[in-house]
Amino acid sequence: MSDLGSHAAGVVVPDTQLAAEATELVREATTDLIYHHSRRVYWFGSLQARNRGLSFDPELLYIGAMFHDLGLNEQFRGSRRRFEVDSADEARRFLQSRGVPEDSIRRVWTAIALHTTPGIPEFMEPEVALVTAGVEYDVLGIGYHDISDADRAEITALHPRPDFKRRILEAFTEGIAPKPETTFGNVKADVLERFAPGYERGNFVDTILNSPWPV
C-alpha cells in the first residue's frame, strides 16, 4: 500500500519486525483517520525531538505513537476506564508477547497513558515527552511553526488529514461518550461538553464539598 511509506522529512520508520507488526496491527484495527493520525504523531514527535535536542529510541516512540488512540475502538467503550489506559494496555500486551524488556514496556505504557495530560510528559523520558509532543502538534497545533512548511507538507502528503479537526473530535466523542465518567479532570471533558447531549462534567470543588467528610 502506498501509505506504508517509511521515509519523510528526514525521518525514517524503524525497519524492524516489531515496528512492522505494530503497523499491520494498527492498520487493521483502526480507521484510516486514526491510522494516519498515529503515523503523523511519530513523524512530528521525531522532528520535535530534533528541535529539542532529545535522543530517543525510535522503535519505542513508534509503538507509542501507533497505539496511543487504539482505546477509542468500539470494543473498549464498555471498559469503564480512560481510553488512554486501554490504549496503553494494548501496547503492553503487544510488547510483552514479543519479549520486549519491561523498562521499555513501561516507557511506552506511560507515554500513551499520559498523552492527554499536559504539563507532565515533557519532564519525563524522551519517548514519553515525544508522544505527547507529536499528539499536541497534530491535534492542537502546538509548536506549529517549529517544523518547516516543507517538512509538514511532506508528512501530510504521505498521511493526509482531510477534514481532520471535525473528524478527530467525532472520533473522540464516539470513543468516550459511552463512559463519560472517565473524563473527570482531563481534557476530554471539553469534547463531551460540546458534542454529547446531556453530558454534565464533574466539578472538583463540588466533589470535595459533597464528600462524606463532615468538614
14-45 pLDDT per residue, tens: 999 999 999 999 999 999 999 999 999 999 99
Of 1-15, 64-78, 170-184, 196-210, the one with minimum mean pLDDT is: 1-15
73-109 pLDDT per residue, tens: 999 999 999 999 999 999 999 999 999 999 999 999 9
135-160 pLDDT per residue, tens: 999 999 999 999 999 999 999 999 99
pLDDT at 176 over 50: yes
Residue 179, C-alpha cell as written in the block? 463512559
Contact 71, 86 (CB under 8 A): yes
pLDDT at 3 over 90: no
> For position 1, what pLDDT does the model report?
36
pLDDT at 112 over 80: yes
- List own/partner pairs for 76-79 with CB under 8 A and 24 or more apart: 76/175, 77/175, 77/178, 77/179, 78/178, 78/179, 79/179
Q: How confident is the model at residue 185 (pLDDT cuts 50, 70, 90)?
A: very high
Average the pLDDT over 44-48 and give the result.
98
Residue 86, C-alpha cell as written in the block? 486501554
Average the pLDDT over 168-186 and give the result.
97
Contact 34, 22 (CB under 8 A): no
Give the 3-state DSSP-derived string for the chain, with helices as H, strands as E and coil as C. Answer: CHHHCCEECCEECCCCHHHHHHHHHHHHHCCHHHHHHHHHHHHHHHHHHHHHCCCCCHHHHHHHHHHCCHHHCHHHCCCCCCHHHHHHHHHHHHHHCCCCCHHHHHHHHHHHHCCCCCCCHHHCCHHHHHHHHHHHHHHHCCCHHHCCHHHHHHHHHHCCCCCHHHHHHHHHHHHHCCCHHHHCCCCHHHHHHHHCCCCCCCCHHHHHHCCCCCC
Average the pLDDT over 115-123 and give the result.
97
